[in-house]
A and B are shown apart, each in its own frame.
Chain A
Amino acid sequence: MKSGSSFAVRWLQATSAIFSKDIKSELRTRYALNALVMFVITTLSIILFALGGEAASSELMCGVLWIIIFFSTMSGMSRSFVSEEERGTVLTLQLMTRPSTVFFGKLFFNFVLLSGTNLLSIVLYLVLITNFVVRTPAIFIVVMLLGTMGLASACTIIAAIIAKANTKGTLYPVLSFPILLPLLLTVINGTLLSVEGAPFTEALEEVQILVSYFVVITAVSYLLFDYVWKD
C-alpha cells in the first residue's frame, strides 16, 4: 500500500493512466481516428453533391450538421470498449483496476475523440456551407460543448453494453438512438437559435436540459457500470 497518497490521488492516477493508454494506442494505430475523419469528409461530400450547388435554408443545415455528427459518432465511438474485447485485454483490465477508473478514463477518452471529430465537422461545415452563419457564437459554443459531453456520456455506456454482444456494429446505433433523442432534439434547437441570432437568454432552457441530461446519464452510467463491466 502506498503511504502518503490518498485514495483520490490514486484514483485519479489510475483514471489518467487508462485515458493516456487509450490515447496513445489510438494515436499509434489511428483506427478510430481514420474512420471518424473519413466518415465526416465522406458524409459532407455526399451532402454537398446532393444539394447540387443550391442553397438550402440554414434551418435545414442545422439539422444536417447534427446528422453528420450523429452518424460519425455511431461509426467510431464504440472503439473504446470493442478494442479491448478484440485484443483480449478485458480480463487484465478487470483484474488490475477499479471499474470506476475504467469508466471515467474511457469517458474522458471518448469526449476528447468526439471533440476532435466535432471540431473538424464544424470547421468544414462553416467553410463549405456558405449560408450557415452562426450569429450568436456564445450559444453555439455552449450548445456544442454540452452536446459533445452528453454524446460522449451516452456513447460510453452503450459501447460498454454492446461490447459483449454478438452483432456489435448494427446494435450500436439501434441502442444509442432512443437514448440520444432528447439530446439531439435539444441540441438541434440550440443550434437553430444560434443561427437565428437569438440572445443567449432564449437558449437557457436548452442549456438546462443539456446540463441535466449529462448529469443524469453520467450518474446512471456510473452506477450501472459495475454490473455491465464485471462478469
Chain B
Amino acid sequence: MALKLLLGLWIAAIIVVGITFPIVPVPQAWYEFPLIPGLENKARIMLFHVPMAWVTVLAFLISMGYGIRYLVKKNIDDDEKSAASAGLGLLFCVLATVTGAIWARFNWGAFWNWDPRQTSIFALLLIYGAYFALRSALDVEEKRAALSAAYAVIAGATVPFFIFVMPRLLPGLHPGSGGSGPLMGGTMNATLRIVFYASLAGFTALYFWMLNLRNRLAKLRTHHESVGG
C-alpha cells in the first residue's frame, strides 16, 4: 500500500518537475535545466519519451524470457506472465510511438519521417501486434504457449538488428544516429540528469507494478477456473 502511494507520488513529482522547472541558457540555481540549442522547451518530452521506449524494450525482453522459461519448464504460468508483459509492452510502445511522433512534428516538421529509430519502434509495434494475432488464432493452451514463445524468440533475434545495426548505417534525424553525436552527451547538467534517471526509475517501477497486478490477476483467474467457480 505504501509502495503504491510512493510510486504515485514519485511519478507525479517527475511530471510536475519536468514541466515546471525553467530552462535557461546557463543554469545557476539547482532547479534550472540547461538550454539545448534548437530544442528549448521541446526537450522536456525527453523525460517521458525515452523511459517509455526503454520500458517497451524491457517488457519485450521479459516477455521473451518468460517464453523461453515456458519452453524449458512447460509451466503454463510462465506463458501467462509472458502474455501479461507483452500486453504492457504494447501499451508503452504505443505511448513511445505517439510521444516520438509529437517530438518529430515539432522538431523535424512531420509526424512521421521513416527515420531508422522511428522505423524500428514501428517494427516493435508490428511485432507486438503479430504476437497477439498469433495468440488469438490458437485455441489449444499448450500450442498457444509454445508457438507464441517461439515467435517471441525469433522476433527477439531480429531486435538487435533494429536497435544497433540500422541506426548506425542509415542516416537519420533521431539523436544518436549516423549524423549527430551521442544521444545525451554533455548537454545535461546535474539537475536534468537526476530528473531523467528518476523518470527512468519511475517508469520501470510503474511497469513492474502493473506486471505484478496482471500476474496476480491471471493466477486468480486460473485458480477460479480450476476450482470450478
Contact = CB atoms under 8 A, between A and B. Distances in A.
Contact-size category for B: 20 to 34
A209 B154 contact: no
Contact of B150 (A167, A177, A228): A228
Interface residues of A: mostly helix, strand, loop or mixed? helix
Given A178-B127, A189-B170, 12 more contacts: A164-B138, A165-B137, A165-B138, A166-B139, A175-B133, A182-B161, A185-B119, A209-B161, A217-B154, A220-B154, A220-B157, A228-B147
A70 to B, nearest CB: 14
Contacts, number: 83
A221 interface: yes
Interface residues of B: mostly helix, strand, loop or mixed? helix
B104 to A, nearest CB: 19
B155 A182 contact: no
Contact-size category for A: 20 to 34
B66 to A, nearest CB: 14
Contacts of B155: 178-179
B153 A171 contact: no
Interface of B: 71, 119, 123-124, 126-127, 129-130, 133-134, 137-139, 142-143, 146-147, 149-151, 153-155, 157-158, 161-162, 165-166, 169-170
A185 B134 contact: no
Contacts of A224: 71, 150, 153-154
A164 B138 CA distance: 8
Interface in A140-191: 157-158, 161-162, 164-167, 171, 174-175, 177-179, 181-182, 185, 189
A111 interface: no
